[in-house]
Amino acid sequence: MIPQPTSRAVGQEYGWGDGCQGWHLVRAQNLSVIEERMPPGTCETRHWHARARQFFYVLSGTLTLEVEGMTHSLAPRTGMELPPGMAHQVLNETIADVEFLVISEPPTRGDRHETGLTQ
């Protein structure tokens, strides 16, 4: 298969959480790249992955990333890598949308384990 450019316009869109959106930019056996948008005041459920290593990279806005009880504020053009096994949660605690990339190797399908807690 010949590689083709990808973007939100052609990526498979899905909804999650309370009004959040994602677009699959790369869906390969060993790699996932997703662009996500979180409206103000939204968050995901705290969870961890047994196999997947993830990298969160902020495109616009400010993303709050809680990892193992430590809170990090990621500004545009900054990111953070998470190894497998680390409980984490993303939040948008601002008054503007936050847009970011989530790169996972391998993909997280079937590898998400809820902690049952939210910040």
Residue position matching structure tokens 């993909």: 107
- Return d(Cα 109, Cα 119) in angstroms, integer: 23
Total residue length of the chain? 119
> What pLDDT does residue 17 have?
87
Alpha carbons 63 and 51: distance in angstroms, whole number: 24
Q: Rounded distance, CA 64 to CA 6, Å? A: 27
Contact between 63 and 25 (Cβ < 8 Å): no
Distance CA 20, CA 49 (A): 20
Determine the Cα–Cα distance for residues 36 and 8; give it in Å rounded to an integer.
10
The average pLDDT across 45-51 equals 95
| pLDDT exceeds 90 at position 116 | no
Average confidence score pLDDT of the chain: 94
pTM beyond 0.75: the answer is yes
Residue 112, φ and ψ in degrees, nearest 5: -100, 130
pLDDT the model gives residue 117: 59
Domains of the chain in sequence order:
12-113 (2.60.120.10)
- CA 39, 75, 102, 52 torsion-angle sign: negative
